[in-house]
Amino acid sequence: MEFIDEKLQAYCEAHTSPEDPILAHITRETHLKVLMPRMLSGNLQGKFLEMLTRFIRPKRVVEIGTYTGYSAICMARGLEGDAILHTLDINVELETMVRGFFEKAGLSDKIDYRLGDAQELIPALPDGIDMVFIDADKENYGRYYDLIFDKLAPGAVILADNVLWSGKILHEGPKKPDKDTAALIAFNRMVQEDPRVDNILLPIRDGILVARKK
């Protein structure tokens, strides 16, 4: 995920509002107790998600891939009034920890945490979704995009994380790319060629694709 010089990365982080004690606690607990802590959004991306949520002012947000709840908390903090975040995850083993984090952040009433296969959960979501953050299994990014698209309100924003995949999307050579890399290459191409959206791919952390439904 290291695409820029470490000193520049540190400079960006030093000029970003600092991680508060609750998010710092989630970061520590994730690194101590959960596999693959690099999946955590982190402060720079978390602040980006919070700021974007405040700019968009959505009434209904969907996150596909909760992990330990860091990004969900960041986005939920950007919600106003009776707006709500639906976050979906398949890992039941993290449920107690994640619900505890949501409660500690005082956001349990703003976050609808649903466990199960996202391909089964998405059809049950209400229509009129204003913002989506996809950050789950890479092979199904295209499937999640297709499943949720018709539930989006006009002007809704779709975000997808890890779309640069540590640079692996620039695949070269005779060998076929691995399944995740191939899926992300296909997903990026699919969004780029979708006439229903305007899109931009940002080199933030491991790459965030942002698309707006026309």
Confidence check: pLDDT of 204 > 90:
no
Q: Are 109 and 84 in contact (CB under 8 A)?
A: no
pLDDT, one tens digit per residue, over 108-152 is 999 999 999 999 999 999 999 999 999 999 999 999 999 999 999
Side chain identity at 85, as an amino acid letter? L
Between residues 9 and 172, which one has the greater pLDDT? 9
pLDDT at site 37: 84
Query: What CATH number has the domain spanning 6-213?
Result: 3.40.50.150
Share of the chain above pLDDT 70, in %: 99
Q: What CA–CA distance (Å, rounded) separates 19 from 154?
A: 33
Confidence check: pLDDT of 1 > 80:
no
pLDDT at site 145: 98
pLDDT band of residue 77 (cuts 50, 70, 90) is: very high
Query: Nearest CA to 127 among 159, 112, 149?
Result: 149
Positive/negative CA dihedral, 126, 49, 57, 196: negative
Confidence check: pLDDT of 48 > 90:
yes
Between residues 41 and 99, which one has the greater pLDDT? 99
Domain boundaries, the chain: 6-213
pLDDT at site 165: 93
Q: What CA–CA distance (Å, rounded) separates 87 from 60?
A: 11
Share of the chain above pLDDT 90, in %: 86
pLDDT at site 5: 82
The stretch 50-76 carries a mean pLDDT of 98
pTM of the model: 0.94
Confidence check: pLDDT of 188 > 90:
yes
What backbone torsions phi and psi does residue 119 show, to the nearest 5 degrees? -65, -25
pLDDT band of residue 62 (cuts 50, 70, 90) is: very high
Confidence check: pLDDT of 106 > 70:
yes
pLDDT band of residue 173 (cuts 50, 70, 90) is: confident
Confidence check: pLDDT of 4 > 80:
no
Kindly give the pairing relationship between strand 208-213 and strand 152-161: antiparallel
pLDDT at site 118: 98
